[in-house]
């Protein structure tokens, strides 16, 4: 196994993951329907994405919809799908000028054909961008992702192209949706919860976790700065001393 060297924390972590949590509670506090919280959360998605790109983050992974979110009331799921449409259309127009490359991680085959087509258009239209990579985790689950990677490797064993004892961590990493990208350095979760909730399970093995008692729609660029400051003060040992 490759030994990771202890390094001085970079001024800005290269890969940040954010669990955009607390939209429902934000709305409830205001006596609004939960869907109003998602609308505010989606507007904030835009603000934080642009800010992250402006301060030099190289990879930003945002958890937009988990494999478990389908169990929410149909009305809420449908409001989220509408927001995805709206903001992906906007990404097609605006992010193109901003040098942001948009990728999707998760099983998009569960979305409507329209949304799948839009997802492909956004990926294709931004494929040649050289700035920040924005990974949108949609219908994403860390366990499903690792299970899929295991299936890919098992198939190679069945085809006679790989011996089980030759399987390495790098091969498994390369079979994930995030293949070729560095692991996240920092995972941020607003809303006060201190769980990963099936987000980047494999990739976040050595990520620093920062939680905020702030609901996602209230999470401002200064909170991102604060999370980065906390990250810089952590002593990352990667299992060493």
Give me the residues that bind ligand FPP (CB under 6 A), please: 20-25, 38, 41-42, 45, 64, 69, 80, 83-84, 87-88, 136, 191
Question: CA-CA distance, 150 to 169, in Å (whole number)?
Answer: 11
Q: Which is nearer to ligand FPP, 35 or 175 (CB)?
A: 35
Give me 122's structure tokens: 């956004």
Please identify which of the residues 69, 107, 174, 218 carries the catalytic annotation: 69
Please identify which of the residues 21, 44, 135, 198 carries the catalytic annotation: 21
Q: Which is nearer to ligand FPP, 12 or 83 (CB)?
A: 83
Q: Which residue is nearest to ligand FPP (CB)?
A: 24
Residues whose CB falls within 8 Å of the CB of residue 33, separated by 6 or more in sequence, listed in order: 27
Question: CA-CA distance, 207 to 181, in Å (whole number)?
Answer: 14
Active site residue 225: no
In the complex, the smallest distance separating the C-beta of residue 42 from ligand FPP, rounded to whole angstroms, is 4
Q: Which is nearer to ligand FPP, 20 or 200 (CB)?
A: 20
Q: Which residue has the tokens 């990771």?
A: 4
Pair 161, 127: CB distance under 8 Å: no
In the complex, the smallest distance separating the C-beta of residue 24 from ligand FPP, rounded to whole angstroms, is 2
Active site residue 69: yes
Active site residues: 21, 69
């Amino acid at each position: 196994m490759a030994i990771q060297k202890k390094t001085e924390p970079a001024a800005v972590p290269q890969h940040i993951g954010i669990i955009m949590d607390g939209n429902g509670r934000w709305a409830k506090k205001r006596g609004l329907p939960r869907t109003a919280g998602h609308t505010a959360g989606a507007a904030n998605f835009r603000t934080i994405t642009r800010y992250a790109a402006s301060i030099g983050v190289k990879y930003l992974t945002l958890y937009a919809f988990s494999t478990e979110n389908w169990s929410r009331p149909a009305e809420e799921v449908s409001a989220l799908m509408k927001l995805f449409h709206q903001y992906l259309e906007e990404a097609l127009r605006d992010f193109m000028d901003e040098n942001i490359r948009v990728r999707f991680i998760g099983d998009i085959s569960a979305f409507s054909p329209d949304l799948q087509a839009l997802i492909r258009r956004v990926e294709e239209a931004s494929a040649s961008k050289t700035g920040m990579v924005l990974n949108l985790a949609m219908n994403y689950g860390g366990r499903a992702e690792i299970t899929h990677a295991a299936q890919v490797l098992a198939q190679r064993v069945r085809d006679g192209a790989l011996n089980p004892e030759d399987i390495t961590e790098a091969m498994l990493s390369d079979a994930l949706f995030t293949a070729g990208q560095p692991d996240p350095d920092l995972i941020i979760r607003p809303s006060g919860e201190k769980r990963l909730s099936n987000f980047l399970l494999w990739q976040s093995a050595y990520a620093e976790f920062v939680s905020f008692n702030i609901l996602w729609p209230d999470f401002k660029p200064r909170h991102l700065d604060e999370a980065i400051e906390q990250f810089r003060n952590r002593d990352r040992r990667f299992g060493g001393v």
